[in-house]
Structure 1
Amino acid sequence: MSIPALGNDASQTAKDVVRDAVSDVTVVDTVANNLGIVAALLVVLYALAFVCAIREIMSSRTAQGSIAWLLSLAFLPYVTVPLYFIFGWRSFTDYAIVQTKLGRSERARRAKELRISDEAETRDWPVLAKVSNMPFLAGNACDLLVDGDAAFRSMLDGIRAANHTVFFQFFTIADDQIGTEAADALIERAEAGVEVYVLYDEIGCKSLPHSYLNRLRQAAVHVSGFNETHRFLRMMGPMRLNYRNHRKLVVVDYEHAWVGGHNVADQYLGRSERFGHWRDTHVKVSGPVAVACAVSFSEDWLWASGKEIDLPEVTRIAKPGDEPVLVMPTGPADVLEECAIAFAEAAGRARKRLWITSPYFVPSIDIQTALFAAAMRGVDVRILLPEKADHLTVWLASHAHADVMVDRGVKVYRYQKGFLHQKVTLVDDELASIGTVNFDNRSFRINFEITLWFTHERMISKVAEMLEQDFVNARQTQPDDLDKRSYGFRVLAQGAQLLSPIL
């Protein structure tokens, strides 16, 4: 009896089956012939998982997070070990050494000796002062800079007028129109003999071409990435991919400092078709605060580049104004989660109003509790967030957290006139903050940030007037708005909320 010939499709299928079988046999043979290597790799992997597990047990921040890491390390070590090195391994003892070397513990005493310490404000806000390791500094002149035109005009004018020193530090720098203007100003000053330092974050500047940085270096500008001497994939030590320098700081001649939410890119001037008007806030402070900001920069520079800036010996610091201001640099090198402590303290002290503006709102349990408690004691708690999204996952998580706020009596507003990116807090008529801190876990616990705190009625009044106008340009979220969203949106928002610890 003859066997019928296979059709073309059946013949091809048979060939594929044979090929796959041969491939599988090849893989098995390869493994079998290298059992020693495979066994060694498994031993190394589980040894690393064990080291990570011990470290997590000894440095646990929350029981829930630690249990999640430990289970994942036990059952999925192949995936979890590299993730833990990126997201879970937190060690900045080397940065703490830098702070000690530059005399951080002596700054309060030094401020007293120079007679720039405001003792009354420091007594009124002891937690903020202890978090900052500095007292409130007296004698400053402050200029509130609303939106990009005012902020960049002030910063660039300040740089162009520099006589001997410029510190220029940003999370993001773009090679666009404003980025070119900034580079031109920095290069012109460097060529005139001014010492110019540029510090950038590699993650925030991932799209910045090497040609931009090389142009600065060729003009004798000192340039360093924040991880210049701390590469992400170091064989000995933790990866730093998850820890970013989010500070935005300019210091000129140790006399003037600029801090706020603007990065150096055209979109921060409202030149983006996607975002349109960009709502952001910076502040210029002249006086003793500029020296404190310069010290913060020098710490970052030493840790990033391995080179120490020769700070001048100071015997007298000018006081061009009458406003007390506190400089609060925070980051993962802090012994405690000091940024979160400071903002929780501010919320806890509120009696009449607590107004918060942030582009991202992913608060931890302790911050949520402080906000709920403020609302329950009758404080006018308002949170101003963007209507538009720039980072989808964080935006979705912000919706989930904001919905809980509305349910608890907190007023949530969505900014309508473009994109809102400012980081400003107002407490009663007593305290205001402007800086780089978003209301999320990343800013409170993971990133290097800087915040300026103000108590003078002049700045409080200006901030209140600015925020009142922002609320006019915003839409308040009503309780029934939550029910109008699709079920799919609510699922995505709740799912994004689960990622809150790393957002």
Structure 2
Amino acid sequence: MTSSLVGVMVALFYLLGLVSVVMALMSSRTSQGAVAWIISLLTFPYVAVPAYWLFGRPRFYGYVSARGARDSVLRQALSGYRAQIMPHLAKPGSTEIQAVEQLAMMPLTRGNQADLLIDGKATFSSLFAGLDSAQKYILVQFFIVRDDALGQRLKKHLFKAVERGVQVHFLYDEIGSHALSEAYLAELNAAGVSVSPFRSSRGLRHRFQINFRNHRKVTVVDGQKGWVGGLNVGVEYLGQSKRHGAWRDTHLALEGPSVLGLQEAFWEDWHWATGEVLELDWQPCVAKTADHPVVIVPSGPADQQDTASLLVQNLIYSAKERLWLTSPYFVPDQGVQDALRLAAMRGVDVRVMMPERPDHLLVYWSALAFLPDMLRGGVKIYRYLPGFLHQKVILIDSDAASIGTVNLDNRSFRLNFEITAFLPCTHFAADVDAMLRRDFHQCREVSLDELRGQPLWKKVISRAAYLTSPIQ
């Protein structure tokens, strides 16, 4: 290679570095992320430029949301559904709930039944019974699907549905389900199931969107029954993993008009993945045995705002007496950290439940960097002891709760497509209260002295890990 060619390549790298610096400056969602990328791009362009184009893109481009686009084919199809749901709208009752509706771009509906599903056995017993009741169609979406005993059970239920003449659409994240065998997918296709990966990096135009994930776990049956929450499809979610042992998770079963919110989120994701506009039933069906108010909050990197982070901050600021949160990955952005400390300072009982056993070491080490500040601000930190804690639950006072797929970290806030069910309902909050009290009885409380007493090498590693949080 001639020296002139080397010079051209070096100049090209620095030119791309400068272009990337401008992009990072103008589009990064956080100042910390912008500063980190700019320093890296100017100092180590040979490494940082490829990394930025793979991991630094702040938005997921090309995704058309029926809730946000003005003239999309989805929006036109959606107009009829939104008219039909008008009689089932619930009054927000507070400005905090109005803010949730604005973030969701979906309404709070009444006439719903919401049932807590605690851990894998209850979740998949309910979900598989729901699949067996399907008469028209099934929508299935998971971040992780494994070709193991549980994955085989799911496949058999889907096969039975197809045999009954039910249409089945199966959507999975290609990164989360990277280990899913081709044979499994081929069998689904051969049986008549419509199968698609989410395809975050679809086509040449979107080829650099590989750092985004579709982390949603949604199942819908006939537009009348729905499931959402923390569980994926794998035997570890049943507590059958030698690595993780007991697995603590929470899912939610819904009936009523709110199910159409889950359906709408799947509908948009399917349109992105395949280009198809599914013909579904949008007639709201009111639950017969309960009247829970529910709003479904989809969020993701295609949103104009940081929906998930703003949702969490809104719930924190609305708390007057109590705020209990659970998250397997707790590395929230500065806005959420500040909101938690301020809530504790104004007398709110703020508790954060985290796993004792990590399954993501980088996130685990990152949390150690800022937990002392949390404790000094009055936030109580608990470590769940019996096994791995994976549930994503927030309890606000005795009035409201949320269950969904959002972890309290930057990936869920800004890089993943997520979905949350928010229920401003005292009866449902009481069920969540009882569930979390049992969980807290199986935790140990973390002390400030414990964190202060860590050796220097641990503190250095945790600070270094925390610097990577914008792309974790």
* TM-score, structure 2 as length reference: 0.94
Give the structure 2 partner of residue 31 of structure 1.
Answer: 2
Amino acid across the alignment from 1:79:
V
Aligned ranges 1:47-196 → 2 under 5 Å: 47-96=15-64, 99=67, 100=69, 101=72, 102-103=74-75, 110=82, 114-121=86-93, 125-196=97-168
Aligned residue number for residue 254 of structure 2: 285
Deviation at 1:146, TM superposition (A): 0.4
Deviation, structure 1 residue 42 = 4.2
Residue correspondence of structure 1 range 221-236 to structure 2 within 5 A: 221-227=193-199, 230-231=201-202, 235-236=204-205
Shift in CA distance, 199/245, structure 1 to aligned 2, threshold 3 Å? same
Question: Which amino acid letter does the alignment assign opposite residue 248 of structure 2?
Answer: R
How far 1:493 sits from its partner (Å)? 1.8
Alpha-carbon distance between aligned partners in 2 of 1:467 and 1:384, rounded to the nearest angstrom: 9
> What SS does the aligned partner of 1:103 have?
helix
CA distance in structure 1 between the partners assigned to 2:384 and 2:83 by the alignment = 40
Which has the larger Rg?
1
User: Kindly tell me: are residues 123 and 370 of structure 1, through their superposed partners in 2, closer, same or farther at Cα, counting changes over 3 Å?
Assistant: closer
Query: Mapping of 1:456-495 within 5 angstroms?
Result: 456-495=425-464
- Secondary structure, in 3 states, of the residue corresponding to 1:94? coil
SS in 1 for 2:64: helix
Name the structure 2 match of 1:205.
Answer: 177
Deviation at 1:223, TM superposition (A): 0.6
Q: How far off is 1:108 after superposition?
A: 11
Q: Between Structure 1 and Structure 2, how many residues are aligned? A: 467
- Please give the secondary structure, in 2, of the residue aligned with 1:213: helix
Q: Does structure 1 conserve the Cα–Cα contact (< 8 Å) formed by 2:395 and 2:401? A: yes
Give how far 1:396 is off: 1.2
Q: Which region of structure 1 is more displaced relative to structure 2, 488-497 or 322-331?
A: 488-497
AA matched with 2:166: V
Matched letter for residue 186 of structure 1: L
Match of 1:27 in 2: none
Does the 8 Å CA contact 1:357/1:424 hold for their aligned counterparts?
yes
SS in 1 for 2:130: helix
CA apart distance, 1:310: 1.5
- Would you say 1:432 and 2:401 are equivalent positions? yes
Answer whether contact 2:66 2:78 (CA < 8 A) is retained: no
Consecutive unaligned residues of structure 2, counting only runs of 5 or more, are none
Shift of 1:304: 1.2
Residue pair 1:172, 1:201 contacting (<8 A) in 2 also: yes
Correspondence 1:376 to 2:345? yes
Judge conservation of contact 1:114–1:317 (CA < 8 Å) in 2: no
In structure 1, the partner of 2:326 is 357
CA-CA distance at 1:63 after TM superposition = 3.2
**Structure 1 residue 394 and structure 2 residue 363: aligned?**
yes
Change in Cα spacing, 1:104 to 1:267, as seen in structure 2 (3 Å) is: farther
* Offset from partner CA, 1:215-274 (integer Å, 9 cap, x none): 10111101111117x34xx54345122110000111111000100100100000000112
Letter in 2 for 1:94: G
* CA deviation after TM superposition for structure 1 residue 434, in Å: 0.3
Q: How far is 1:109 from its partner?
A: 9.1
SS of residue in 1 equivalent to 2:354: strand
User: 1:395 and 1:225 mapped to 2: Cα distance?
Assistant: 29
Alpha-carbon deviation of 1:106? 6.8
Amino acid aligned to 1:31: T
In structure 2, what residue type is equivalent to 1:475? R
Q: Tell me how far apart the structure 2 counterparts of residues 308 and 92 of structure 1 sit (CA, whole Å).
A: 20
Partner SS for 1:115: helix
Given that 1:364 and 1:440 are in contact with CA atoms closer than 8 Å, whether structure 2 keeps it comes out as yes
What is the aligned counterpart of 1:300 among 246, 269, 278? 269
Measured against aligned partners, the alpha-carbon deviations of 1:330-368 in whole angstroms (never above 9, x if no partner) come to: 000110111111110110011100000000100111001
Quick check: 44-53 or 245-254, which moved more? 44-53
After superposition, the Cα gap between the structure-2 partners of 1:70 and 1:484, relative to the gap in structure 1 and judged at 3 Å, is closer
**Alpha carbons 1:416, 1:473 under 8 Å: kept:** yes
1:246 aligns with 2:215: yes
User: Displacement, 1:98?
Assistant: 5.7
Alpha carbon RMSD of aligned pairs, Å?
A: 2.1
SS in 2 for 1:254: coil
Letter in 2 for 1:246: H
Structure 1 residues 218 and 238, CA gap change in structure 2 (3 angstroms): closer
Q: Sequence identity of aligned pairs in percent? A: 41
The aligned counterpart of 2:379 is 410
Question: What is the CA–CA distance in structure 1 between the aligned matches of 2:411 and 2:161, rounded to whole Å?
Answer: 35
SS at match of 1:288: coil
